[in-house]
Structure 1
């Protein structure tokens, strides 16, 4: 297949692109910086020359990029939980998605994969349900993904066999930059892992990428509205996260107890302060709700398609931190865990760069 990939200089898009190439597909990229894309893939052993320079918000550029393709993976998106950026996030994600998938549909392309997010389905402490109605969250990032999800479902209801994936917290090595989720992992090391209510679902980007390739290749055998696949990953409460991190690293992670209600209140305070005083503290109301109210969701349909279980979280964290050390994002000593090699020559934990 000739596949257009958006978001190829992001973590999920990059790994999906490499997975497509490894499976013999012809790939075209839509990228704002072709040079950056070429450099990344060259460093990983792939020579991609078919790159259309432009932005997904430009409908004419999108149409040009889709011409000659018979499949598309839409993995581009702006991930930002800062309330001050809410309008930008909404405009970018919603209009970009409508351009890419909407134009692909009008051009007769029926092999499409869209990377949604579990945050589009998250509604406080309720169970997440990909088949249920969408919530009405006003949180900046979630609001944009809910609107994107609504459009994706419109296409499905029209009979378009759009395959939708719903990743959890995506971590993994070989990140073209430093995505929000990988940066969050490094901030846990630098700052702390609060022991609070609920927990987090961590999924390896390589599993997400493999799912995307399988979904794109699969024949249309189901009603269009059934092509929804949770790839949430492994659920861990925050004590378990701390335990994993302490096994992986030689230096224990700071892990103070912090009730969920306190974190959520602090998120409100910090969001209010952002309106008048710029600060870099990553906690927001949206992130506080996600980390303190999350209920586990499982990925049976995904593991059935993959024919295997998702990678263990410890493997994902070791591989991600090994990559982060090598790239100079952070420096830390790592213990020998799970058969992985010890990084013995690195300095003690230092600042994220």
Structure 2
């Protein structure tokens, strides 16, 4: 039984990956902070929780018996106040764990980057595209770019590191939930989306993302990146899918981006000083002004990345959120 070390295993993508690894016969050591919510890993055999964080100095000792590392963990925040936290966890944390893996003799690492690190273009972009870092919107995207550079540098120095860049995963077990695709779903379910802005996302079933990680372990090339994505959909198309799934009406009018931007600016710059929890991040509105469309054909061709219809993932995400009390019952 191969032993693997997984960071971020309590989170959305990580928990789905851990379940897949166990199903495929691996024993998983899952790194988790002392205050982590472990509900996603309950009642799973062949998983051992390792207490610590990405910047722990003794990480290499924790993974000496493992053959492989999946570095999935990242701090995901679109709030501008979290700039230093993003750098500490995403950039320095990645640097530390890659060094630990090298010291521990890990044979191969799969590093979870993001399409956020690639940026956007005028149309659909693939792995060959790279927006200048100064053009990446928000501190989260910049932190993922610099984190990915840590992986690129490690691979260039001879460490076996494969990079995967998920787009927007959709599906069950997003306990936080993430402030992109699932925020859209929850706002729709809670009837807090009376209108929409013209934007678009690439969506993929989170189980396919998990498979993409495992396939990258076996088939990926060190130092290369693979976009894990599926369908490019406008926000209107996503909302229409949700309407069909739930029998709730989809919003049918658009609003200019300056309206949510004004709300976000007031929230984040003014009302937070008065103790209010902001509801819309400025950087989130800025991101939505660009269609985030990606071409995952390299991962499909070279890794065999599955392409489950996104409608199925949206339906299961809706069912999971309702079943777990994220939406008030009428």
TM bucket normalised to smaller: 0.7 to 0.9
Partner of 2:210: 209
TM-score by length of 1: 0.83
CA distance in 2, matches of 1:88, 1:318: 34
Asked if the contact 2:198–2:254 (Cα under 8 Å) also holds between the matched residues in 1, the reply is no
Tell whether the 8 Å contact from 1:167 to 1:233 is kept in structure 2 after alignment: no
- Report the equivalent of 2:72: 75
2:294 alignment partner, SS class: coil
Q: Within 5 Å, give how 1:81-160 maps onto structure 2.
A: 81-122=78-119, 128-133=125-130, 134-136=132-134, 137=136, 139-160=138-159
CA distance in 1, matches of 2:211, 2:325: 27
> Which stretch shifts more, 264-273 or 134-143?
264-273
Aligned-pair distance for 1:3? 0.5
Contact 1:124/1:289, CA 8 A, preserved across alignment: no
Q: Does 6-15 or 116-125 show the bigger shift?
A: 116-125
Aligned residue number for residue 26 of structure 2: 25
For the pair 1:178 / 2:177, whether they are aligned, the reply is yes
1:53 is aligned, of 51, 54, 59, to 51
CA shift, 1:70, in A, is 1.3
Deviates more, 1:78-87 or 1:100-109: 100-109
Q: In structure 1, what is the Cα distance between the partners aligned to 2:25 and 2:56? A: 29
CA 1:35–1:47: 2 relative to 1, 3 Å? farther
Report the equivalent of 2:187: 187
Contact 1:192–1:254 under 8 Å retained in 2:
yes
CA offset at residue 131 of structure 1?
3.1
Deviations 1:288-317 (A, max 9, x none): 122221242111122224546522221111
C-alpha distance in structure 2 between counterparts of 1:102 and 1:12, whole Å:
23
Aligned twin of 2:14: 13
1:115 to 1:29, Cα distance in 2 relative to 1, 3 A: same
Is the 1:110–1:162 contact (alpha carbons within 8 Å) kept by the matching residues of 2? no
CA shift for structure 1 position 8: 0.7
Return the TM-score normalized by structure 2: 0.88
How many angstroms apart in 2 are the aligned matches of 1:119 and 1:258?
A: 25
- Judged with a 3 Å threshold, the aligned counterparts in structure 2 of structure 1 residues 17 and 100 are, in CA distance, closer, same or farther, namely same
Q: Which runs of 5+ in 1 are unaligned?
A: 332-346, 349-353
Q: Aligned partners of 1:278, 1:129: CA distance in 2, in Å?
A: 42
Question: Matched residues in 2 for 1:279 and 1:259: separation?
Answer: 25
The alignment of Structure 1 onto Structure 2 pairs a total of residues equal to 325
Per-residue deviation, 1:275: 5.7
The verdict on how the C-alpha distance between 1:261 and 1:180 changes in structure 2, with shifts beyond 3 A counting, is: closer
1:184 deviates by 4.1
> CA 1:274–1:138 in 2, change beyond 3 Å: closer, same or farther?
farther
Aligned residue for 1:180, secondary structure, equals: coil
1:90-123: CA deviation from partner (whole Å, max 9, x where unpaired): 2121121111112212333231111111111225
Aligned to 1:252: 249
- Residue by residue over 1:8-33, the C-alpha shift from the partner in whole angstroms, topping out at 9 and shown as x without a partner, is 11011111111111111121111124
Instruction: Tell me which residue corresponds to 1:330.
Output: 327
Residue ranges of structure 2 left out of the alignment (5+ in a row):
none
Residue 273 and residue 310 in structure 1: after superposition, are their counterparts in 2 closer, same or farther (change >3 A)? farther
CA distance in 2, matches of 1:125, 1:170: 22
Equivalent-residue separation in structure 2 for 1:162 and 1:108 (angstroms): 13
SS of alignment partner, residue 232 of structure 2: strand
1:167 matched to 2:166? The reply is yes
Comparing 115-124 with 24-33, greater Cα deviation is found at 115-124
Please, which moves more after superposition, 201-210 or 86-95? 86-95
